[in-house]
Structure 1
């Protein structure tokens, strides 16, 4: 259904500066859970594996800094 697909997304990392650190950590672990799905599912979609690896890598590189330094724009 085309009506349920977003046509625009606003992703302003500065908005996340006001989020509590524990919320940032929880969202980071949620990203890791979703990014690992292609590897644990028998119904994986082969082209999604590259995006999954990139999401895991970016999260691993930035989650610690984003939770330790809530104003780190790169980490957020």
Structure 2
């Protein structure tokens, strides 16, 4: 083995080691993002449930308003 081959071998091993560290860091970042995404999805589910409940309450209140308007209309006719 020549000196050049030895240097290339050492540099190649070092490069592969750095690549391994880089890939581990990327994998860690992906896991962290997946965790954050799960939290965002849970939060979105709660927001959607709240929105559905508010829509139901609004429809209920509009029904009250229509009944009040109908009663006021009848009172004005008498």
Query: TM-score under structure 1 normalisation?
Result: 0.29
Larger C-alpha radius of gyration, 1 or 2? 2
- Higher relative contact order, chain-length normalized (CA < 8 Å, sep 6+): 1
Q: Give 1 or 2: higher helix fraction.
A: 2
Q: Using structure 2 for the length normalisation, give the TM-score.
A: 0.29
